[in-house]
Amino acid sequence: MSTKYIGQPISRVDGRAKVTGQAKYAGEYNVPNLAYGVIVSSAIAKGRITNIDSTKALSLNGVLQVFTHKNAPRTAERDENYWDEVAPPGSPFRPLQNDKVMFSGQPVALVVAESFELAMYAASLVQVEYKIEQHVTDLDQVRNEAYVPRPREGIDPPAKPRGNPESALAGAPVKIEVEYSAPVEHHNPMEPYATTVLWEGDSKLIVYDKTQGSVNNHDYVCNVSGLSSDQVRLLSPYVGGAFGSGLRPQYQLVLAVMAALGLKRSVRVTLRRQQMFTLGHRPRTIQNVALGAATDGKLQALIHQAIAETSQYEDYSEPVVNWSGELYQCDNVKLGHKVVHLDFCTPCDMRAPGAVWGLYAIESAMDELAYKLRMDPLELRLKNYTERDLNNNKPFSSKELRECYRQGAERFGWSKRNPEPRSMRDDGSLIGWGFATGAWDAMHFPASAKAVLSADGKLMVGSATADIGTGTYTIMTQIAAETLGLPIEDVTFKLGDSTLPKAPVEGGSFTAASVGTAVKQVCDKVRGKLFRVAQTLPKSPFANAKLEDITFADGHMMLTSDPGRSVSIQEAMRHGGLSSIEESADAAPDEAKRSQYTLHTHSAIFAEVKVDEDLGTIDVARVVSAIAGGRILNPKTARSQIMGGIVWGIGMALEEESVVDHKFGRFMNHNLAEYHVPVNADVHDIDVIFVEEHDSIVNPLGVKGLGEIGIVGVAAAIGNAIFHATGVRVRDLPITLDKVLAGVAVPKREILAPAA
């Protein structure tokens, strides 16, 4: 037996529960006397509700109540009560509190009935009348009204300009000025949002909710409904994907709580897939990039400006443009980010928010510049490589990006690339090789954990974080087991429960660092206690030792210098007369140290596409992604994260888009048949490389987080590959076949022979 787990490809500790159906999700808790809520969604984008007629619905036997803005219990009045941990500045949406419609699909009524089917039927009978007002959902139509949003906590506004970007651009011998457009995307996790509220009497509630932050949503419920903290326990042990959509409380939560309190009953509210398109989304974003360079490729000017959407009631913004100024050595830089108000709900962080769009633009633009310079795109990146973050004038805590470039290029075979577009063919198809860089933050936030070691050597560690499919359960179990030298089967990690020690929402790739540090610290405390107990044993081998001299492994403590001299953990507890050891720890980042550096993960993505020019078919034949993400706690879960990101990146490049009918201000393709994400047949070879990166600054574990870096840059790499294959530059995601066909002129040449 070895209890060395960190860095090992341990299979998910929750995997078995998930594949056998034992893992229960928020909408799966069945209790006696459960009532079912179905939400009626607004059919218009903007206006007032002039009348809601619920009589038909209420006349059905078994319909308990139809909540509307007329009769719904009032929730808190002040905006502050609705501000959750990640709320952007503004006045958050509060369902059923007034007659205003602010986006299409907004909940306008909640029907509660004795059965789900009945509630569905009754919901179809609720008649809503509106006074329609003119909405705007087309960003292009109002881009001139873009403004600088109020800053969002935790997100740096665009860096101040440096040098003289405009004049440097004007004077640059080689330049490009281009615009890129990216569509709205919806998170669409497999599990729809759901909340089951168990009524425990006396306004005490147990709330099973789908969320990335059980504490965040617990506090929100209390603040909004006026319940005290101990009246609500919020649990979210399993989450079927969220990708950021669960960072903020979704509206079914407050509606389910409202109904439970109003009816003094247990209530479940589940969203339908169509309603998943009425939640926050990745905002449509237009970006203008201008690059000027000397003929040797040295950047002389870099201007990157973004315009994105927000709602009418909150200033959502994300970090789109700063990456460009941090990634490259350039003395004349201007960065800008503005938003416009549209009549949609507020956008919401979605896997690598901001970076995904920003790096799509800058890395496509760098590719365009490379062709203009007649220079290898990779060489252009190296030419402008920077060891310092010039936005903030700080060194990087670590940056193995150069090594990502090198190892990725080697694995991919980049040196065999013919730089000429349309020069590579296989079986009648055009082949294209493209390349892009990715970057993301290595954040760290305060988090707490507790540990209980019982006399039988079983360890429970808990923290109110979440596992949205990322592998949190697994890596925390690994850290705890290795720290205390216990077999992994004897360690249980608990999360997703507001009564556990506080943790931030799971997002931003900061969970491994933040919660991992807390878990490490609390286990270190248990270590200390065990060691002190072991020292009191008669003839203790550790009598003259210090804690640093001891190794915890295989269920034992032993002298590192002489492992034969050991004490079993259970024996120590027995002798100490301890039925358990309980510890808790509050871990905080070392800001004094961290603030002197810029802390990032990096990646290099190489993609090969095969294009059948006649039919516009694009196949992403292979992707190599080399990641510098600090210490890798578990190469298996880590690889899964990166693969998932790459698959999503393929979708982002080629397929994904929430289409809007601007006349009605409404998303149209609101189901998983018409909202396209990659299917198995779209995904071919994916090769992930983890480049060694040691970082003692980022946090004591040296981990940087991997949840988002995998997706960043993928769309640019694929778009660049498509240009290399076809000579067609599509600057408007997704790159669907009609856009490629439009670029390739109607056949003036012989029809190509078909593939064999």
Element (H, E) at 55: helix 55-58
Helices (H) and strands (E) in the chain, counts: 17, 30
- Is 382 a binding residue for another protein by CB under 8 A? The answer is no
Which segments of 615-756 does DSSP mark as H helices, in order? 635-654, 714-726, 737-743
CB contact at 8 A, 199 and 319: no
Annotate each residue in 613-632 with x if it binds another protein (CB under 8 A) or - if it does not, as one string. Answer: -xxxx-x-------------
Q: Work out how close the CB of 58 gets to another protein at its nearest, in angstroms, rounded to a whole number.
A: 15
Piece of the chain touching another protein by CB under 8 A; list 15-23, 351-359, 459-467, 743-751: 743-751
- Closest to 707 measured CA to CA, from 322, 449, 438, 446: 438
Interface region with another protein, contact rule CB under 8 A, candidates 222-230, 240-248, 298-306, 739-747 = 739-747
Asked if 104 is part of the footprint of another protein (rule: CB under 8 A), the reply reads: yes
Q: In the bound complex, what is the minimum distance in angstroms from residue 651's beta carbon to another protein?
A: 9
Asked if 112 and 36 count as a contact pair (C-beta separation under 8 A), the reply is yes
Among 336, 348, 366, 267, CA closest to 310:
348
Residue with tokens 């890395």: 363
How far CA 314 is from CA of 29, 140, 150, 151, in Å, comes to: 34, 20, 9, 11
- The CB-of-270 to another protein minimum distance in angstroms stands at 13
Contact status: 742 vs another protein (CB under 8 A): yes
Three-state SS for 701? coil
Q: Is 674 in the site for another protein (CB under 8 A)?
A: yes
- Closest CB 345 distance from another protein, rounded Å: 16
From 655, 693, 695, 708, residue interacting with another protein (rule: CB under 8 A) = 655
Between 455 and 741, whose beta carbon lies closer to another protein?
741
Coil/strand/helix, residue 18: helix
Output 565 or 663, the one with its CB closest to another protein: 663
Residue from 17, 58, 76, 120 in contact with another protein (CB under 8 A): 120
Q: Could you tell me which residues come within 8 angstroms of residue 266 by beta carbon, excluding any fewer than 6 positions away?
A: 31, 33, 34, 35, 196, 197, 198, 199, 260
- Return the number of the residue (274 or 561) whose C-beta is nearest another protein: 274
Only one of the segments 114-122, 382-390, 457-465, 508-516 lies at the binding site for another protein (rule: CB under 8 A); that segment is 114-122
Rounded least distance, CB 111 to another protein, Å:
12
Binding-site member from 564, 592, 738, 748 for another protein (CB under 8 A): 738
Q: Has 708 been annotated as catalytic?
A: yes
Please identify which of the residues 309, 400, 583, 708 carries the catalytic annotation. Answer: 708
Residue 15 is given by DSSP the state: H
What's the Cα-to-Cα distance from 408 to each of 40, 112, 171, 659, rounded to whole Å?
Answer: 50, 55, 35, 35
**N- to C-terminal Cα distance for the chain?**
54
Give the separation between CA 171 and CA 173, rounded to whole angstroms: 6
The span of 115-123, 236-244, 296-304, 508-516 binding another protein (CB under 8 A) equals 115-123
| The residue to which tokens 């997704």 are assigned | 734
Among 288, 446, 741, 743, binds another protein (CB under 8 A): 741
Q: Is 117 in the site for another protein (CB under 8 A)?
A: yes
Nearer to another protein, 54 or 324 (CB): 54
Instruction: With CB under 8 A as the rule, give the number of residues binding another protein.
Output: 46
Determine if 148 is a binding residue for another protein (CB under 8 A): no
Taking the complex as a whole, how short is the minimal distance between the CB of residue 126 and another protein, in angstroms?
Answer: 12
**Distance between CA atoms of residues 297 and 174, nearest Å:** 9
Beta strands in 424-513 (DSSP E): 424-426, 429-441, 447-454, 459-462, 491-494
Cβ atoms within 10 Å of 748's Cβ, excluding its own? 5
Residue (275 or 603) nearer to another protein, CB: 275
**Contact between 43 and another protein (CB under 8 A)?**
yes
53 binds another protein (CB under 8 A): no
Of the pair 10, 714, the CB lying nearest another protein is at 714
Q: Which is nearer to another protein, 581 or 730 (CB)?
A: 730
* Helices 714-726, 355-373: crossing angle, 10 deg rounding: 30
Contacting range for another protein; rule: CB under 8 A; set: 346-354, 515-523, 588-596, 677-685: 677-685
Of 142, 455, 635, 664, which lies in the binding site for another protein, with binding defined by CB under 8 A?
664
Does 673 bind another protein (CB under 8 A)? Our answer is yes
Which residue of 27, 149, 678, 705 would you call a contact of another protein, by CB under 8 A?
678
Closest distance between another protein and the C-beta of residue 55, in Å?
Answer: 17
- Say whether residue 666 binds another protein (CB under 8 A): yes
Residue 411 parent element (H or E) = helix 401-412
Q: Binders of another protein among 714-733, rule CB under 8 A?
A: none
**SS3 state at 179:** strand
Among 143, 425, 663, 694, binds another protein (CB under 8 A): 663
| HEC profile of 531-557 | HHHHHCCCCCCCCCCCHHHEEEECCEE
The first and second tokens of residue 365, run together, are: 């633009």
Separation between Cα atoms, residue 220 and residue 224, nearest integer Å: 6
Q: Which amino acid is at 403?
A: E
- Asked if 124 interacts with another protein (CB under 8 A), we say yes
DSSP-derived secondary structure letter, 349: -
Cβ closer to another protein: 104 or 196?
104
For another protein, which is the closer residue by CB, 170 or 659?
659
Asked if 680 touches another protein (CB under 8 A), the answer is yes
* Interface with another protein (CB under 8 A), residue from 162, 272, 574, 575: 272
Q: How far is the CB of 665 from another protein (least distance, A)?
A: 10
User: Which tokens sit at 545?
Assistant: 């030792």
Where do runs of H (alpha helix) occur along 145-298?
A: 165-171, 214-225, 251-263
Cβ 121 to another protein shortest distance, Å: 5
CB-CB neighbours of 591 under 10 Å: 9
Strand order in the sheet with 562-568: 550-553, 556-559, 562-568
Using the contact rule CB under 8 A, the part of the chain among 339-347, 402-410, 666-674, 686-694 near another protein is 666-674
Residues that bind another protein (CB under 8 A): 43-44, 104, 117-118, 120-121, 124, 272, 274, 614-617, 619, 654-655, 659-661, 663-664, 666, 668-671, 673-674, 676, 678-682, 736-738, 741-742, 746-747, 750-751, 753-754
Catalytic residues: 708
